[in-house]
Amino acid sequence: MKNNVYISVSTDPIKEHQRIAEYAKEMQGYADFLHCDIMDGFFVENKTYDAQLLKNINNHSLIMLDVHLMCDEPLKMIDDYIKAGANIITVHYEAFKDKSDIMLAIDKIKKAGTLAGLAIKPETTIHDIKVYIHDFDIILVMAVEPGASGQKFMPSTFEKVKTLDLLRKENDFKYKIEVDGGIIPEISEKLINVGADMLVSGSYIFKANDKLKAIEQLRGK
């Protein structure tokens, strides 16, 4: 099993926005990233916080910010989240009506010195995104439908991760493979074994009495 597995703790289970900055401070030194689920109420049903709150989180904690834009018009939002202090900005493949705009998004993110991620919903195949993956730093595979915390992991995710890992090895691509949704230790071990580098956890870590132990369990330690 890999030693360098990154854990990104999700803000999604936290409903009181003022508590997110507190959670970020609590998680720094424990988790590698804070996974900031940004929802606009259109791409997914729920609506969450904005770039102003992200800036507040960045100003009051040291944890790296893994920003996941579950939003209809990501191109219009990227600049705000760069300015707010995002270390990673991940956009959804499905959010782009004109797929050529995906390249504009990559360019905008990378020119700012921020890592660029591409996320896919469960119904999107690796074949759909194959032409884009070499340009991204991170490919985020959703193991649940985006928009709601606490869903069960979809087993089809394993095959997607395996395919992404094979493409990476065959073509010497440099992207990291991130997985989000329903991850518990038994699942994390299998994901790591098929090639996952980053694991996002919302409910499992948030509800744990010993959060550091929960994080280490997901790492496979």
Catalytic residue among 12, 32, 37, 137: 37
* Distance in Å from the first CA to the final CA of the chain: 10
> 66 catalytic, yes or no?
no
> 180 catalytic, yes or no?
yes
Q: Where are the beta strands (DSSP E) in 76-185?
A: 88-92, 115-120, 138-142, 176-180
Catalytic residue among 32, 137, 180, 197: 180
Q: Where are the beta strands (DSSP E) in 93-204?
A: 115-120, 138-142, 176-180, 198-201
3-state secondary structure 37-56: EEEECCCCCCECCCHHHHHH
CB 29 within 8 A of CB 61: no
Give catalytic residues, as residue numbers: 37, 180
